[in-house]
Amino acid sequence: MAENLIYDQMKSNSIALDTISEGHIKNVAFISLRISLMSFFRTAKALNRYMNDTSVRNDMSQHEKDTALGIVYAHEAYNAVFHFQNFLELAIKDIRYSITRDENLYEDTFYNNLQALVASIDNNTIPSDYYFIKNYYWGIRTINKLRNDAVHSGVFILRSEALNELFGKYAFPLMIEISKLQLFAGNRYWRYNLDNDDIHPIENIIEEYKHETVNQYKIQLLKLIATAAFDNEIFISKKDLNNTQPDIFNNSIAALYEMIYAKRVKKAEKEAEDLSLMNQMDARVCPVCQNKTLVLEQDTYDDGEDNYCNYTYEVHCTQCGFKLDHYLINRIKDTGVTIENYEEFHS
């Protein structure tokens, strides 16, 4: 068969990630991890209707619940598993290479590289830093098989509760162990910009899955917070900004904030203020980006005794896009997540 001239042309126009990232990213492992995390958390947006419907329709059959998940959920769920497996495959190859310096292993299969690592752990021939991999062996195999099932047959998607469990029990703890390795130290590309020291979505989800009973609404809330944190482009926290000197010309952090973000934040704050006035409310501080850009949308209901009461049916941030619908607002206090209970605010 003739040479693949199309491939040769495209290959000759490829750029090393090391060049594009100025030495910070060697391969697509952590790009895949970021895509996986973003897709996993974004399933929460696709699940808003599903979570609300199943909360008030306990008589739904399993088929009705499955149908209610929707194709957008399927898109994000597939991406989450597919790219997490790709992250694992490349990370495990990098780990093996750091030990053996054998470049041929990059041509080997995921399974063979994993088995070789486990064998080395059993033989005590590699540093103990990597022993955790054996503890996650079946979780890794499961993620790999789920990815292969999705790619080769392409007809099955995990239900939302199963996807949450896969990440909360297995993928997230494994990811944290891998990211702590000296080999990957300093790689922060996969992290979100959450300006809140009281909320840690990944760690909080891991903790929730240590309980016998999991609060799926808490998981949903944490996922929506993380989704907005990934969309939040402001990587300078309010704490770091407040600890800087007032003279912006003598402080790089303050100067950078003023140059890149200040105008955007002021515009978002003005928009939130105007929308809040329409609801006869004050804008609140967003729990994700810490700007006064959270709008509490109000509506009115009849309590059955001809009394009309206002209530918050939605909150949304004009800066990072954080958004909660009424079904979650009504459950905030039951989740234990440290954010304001917007149910208590009304005009």
Contact (CB, 8 A) for 327 and 318: no
Global pTM value:
0.92
Predicted pLDDT of residue 53: 77
| Helix (H/G/I), strand (E/B), else coil: 42 | helix
Predicted pLDDT of residue 319: 98
Contact (CB, 8 A) for 204 and 256: no
Which stretches in the chain have pLDDT values below 70?
Answer: 1, 21-25, 54-57, 245-251, 302-306, 347
Predicted pLDDT of residue 56: 57
User: Which of 224, 301, 222, 319 shows the shortest CA–CA distance to 262?
Assistant: 319
Tell me the domain boundaries of the chain.
Answer: 15-191, 238-344
Distance, in Å, from the CA atom of 271 to the CA atom of 268, rounded to the nearest integer, reads: 5
User: Which of 132, 34, 17, 26 shows the shortest CA–CA distance to 83?
Assistant: 34
Neighbours of 272 (CB within 10 A): 24
Predicted pLDDT of residue 267: 98
Distance, in Å, from the CA atom of 15 to the CA atom of 123, rounded to the nearest integer, reads: 39
User: Which of 283, 287, 231, 241 shows the shortest CA–CA distance to 262?
Assistant: 241
Predicted pLDDT of residue 77: 97
Q: What's the pLDDT tens digit per position in 64-82?
A: 889 989 999 999 999 999 9
